[in-house]
Amino acid sequence: MKQISNDILTRCKTGDREAFRILVHTYQRMVFSLSLKMLCDEDDAKDTVQDVFLKVWQNIAGFDSRVSMSTWIYTIASHICLDKLKKKRRMSPLPDDESVFREYAEKADAQTELENRQWVAVVRILAEGLSGKQKLVFTLCQLEGLDSSEVQEITGLDAKQIKSNLYAARQIIRKRLKDMGYE
């Protein structure tokens, strides 16, 4: 995972805007990726990136350097995404999401051709019926590739809760795929 230098962090803590610009540049893709997968809306994801870095800027002076910067930013982004999910009405897959999903699933080199629109369709299809915590844990573990210890730090959940939420999410997703004819 990307990390910024201690010099950049120190400069950010003193209000150096150029250093903060470097911090944003380093982590914005990570925040956008998580936000897009969690919120299933590109505009909401872009807004979330702005919200996250505003909160980072406001709280950077209190950042505890014993925690990695990426974990701290993931934590902020996760909380903002969960708050937005609570406020947002339940997002159901759109009628054409299933055809986009099927097109994606049938491509041999799908990973290289996956675009934001396709990610949104795939996540909407797979995550339908997941709770906010299940979706967050699934996204962090399976889609973002973080290990359990990082997910614990980000979410505040213990290992058992992470395992339980991930198991439940996988079961729901497995059932969705089976119902769609994929096994």
CA 16 to chain centre: 28
Q: How many residues appear in the chain? A: 183
For the purposes of burial, counting CB atoms within 10 Å of the CB of 63, is it exposed (0-12), middle (13-18) or buried (19 or more)?
A: middle
The H or E element containing residue 119 is: helix 116-127
Q: List pLDDT tens digits, range 98-147.
A: 555 555 555 545 544 455 566 667 677 777 788 889 989 988 988 888 99
For residue range 60-94, list pLDDT tens digits in order.
999 988 889 999 999 999 999 999 988 876 555 55
Residue 163 burial by Cβ neighbours in a 10 Å radius (0-12, 13-18, 19+): middle
Indicate yes or no: pTM above 0.85: no
Buried b (16+ CB within 10 A) or exposed e, 41-56: beebbeebbebbbeeb
